[in-house]
Amino acid sequence: MTVIQNILWLLVLIGVMILIHELGHFWAARYFDVKVDVFSFGFGPRLFGFRKGETDYRFSAILFGGYVKMAGEQPGDENSDDPRGFLAKPRWQRMIIAFAGPIMNVVLAVGVLTGLYMFKYQKVVEPAVSGVVGYVTPDSPAAKAGVHAGDRITKIDGKSYPTWEDIALAEGTNARKALDVTIDRNGQQIPIQVTPNMDERSGMGTAGWSEQDQVQLGTISPGMPADKAGLKKGDLIMAANGQPVRSVLRFHDTIRSSNGQPVTLELERDGEKKQITVNPVFSKLDGPERWMIGAIVERKLKIETTKLSFPDALGESLRQNYKGASLIYQFLAKMVQRNMSPKSLTGPIGIAQLSGEAAREGPSAFFMLMSMVSLNLAIFNLLPIPILDGGVIVMLLIEMLMRRDMSMPVKEAVFKVGFVFIMVIVAFVIYNDISKMLPG
Check whether residue 248 and residue 260 sit in a common domain. yes
Answer yes or no: are the C-beta atoms of 129 and 154 closer than 8 Å: no
Check whether residue 255 and residue 286 sit in a common domain. yes
Please determine, for residue 145, whether its predicted confidence score (pLDDT) is greater than 60: yes
How buried is residue 196: exposed, middle or buried, by Cβ count under 10 Å (0-12/13-18/19+)? buried
Residue 202 lies in a domain: yes
pLDDT in tens, 14-32: 888 888 998 999 999 999 9
* pLDDT confidence bin for 80, thresholds 50/70/90: low
Q: How far apart (Å, rounded) are the C-alpha atoms in residues 244 and 122?
A: 29
Which of 150-159, 200-209, 364-373, 388-397 is predicted least confidently?
200-209
Q: How far apart (Å, rounded) are the C-alpha atoms in residues 420 and 426?
A: 10
Residue 159 lies in a domain: yes
Domain range for 232 is 215-301
pLDDT in tens, 188-220: 999 999 999 988 777 888 999 988 888 898 888
pLDDT in tens, 255-313: 988 888 999 999 988 888 989 999 998 876 655 678 888 888 888 877 888 999 999 99
Residue 386 lies in a domain: no
Q: How far apart (Å, rounded) are the C-alpha atoms in residues 100 and 28?
A: 7
Residue 18 lies in a domain: no
From 22, 73, 266, 357, the catalytic residue: 22
| pLDDT score at 192 | 93
Bigger pLDDT: 369 vs 340: 369
Domain boundary among 162, 180, 211: 211
Domain boundary among 181, 211, 241: 211
Check whether residue 151 and residue 200 sit in a common domain. yes
Bigger pLDDT: 180 vs 334: 180
Residue 198 lies in a domain: yes
Q: State the pTM of this model.
A: 0.80
Residue 191 lies in a domain: yes
| pLDDT score at 113 | 94
Domain boundary among 153, 179, 211: 211
Residue 175 lies in a domain: yes
Measured torsion, CA atoms of residues 10, 201, 422, 113, in degrees rounded to the nearest 10:
40
Check whether residue 223 and residue 295 sit in a common domain. yes
353: Cβ contacts below 8 Å, ≥ 6 apart: 6
Answer yes or no: are the C-beta atoms of 175 and 337 closer than 8 Å: no
Residue 269 lies in a domain: yes
Rg (CA), the chain: 25
Q: What is the CATH number of the domain that holds 225?
A: 2.30.42.10
22 is catalytic: yes
The domain tally of the chain equals 2
Nearest by Cα to 109 from 330, 341, 321, 405: 321
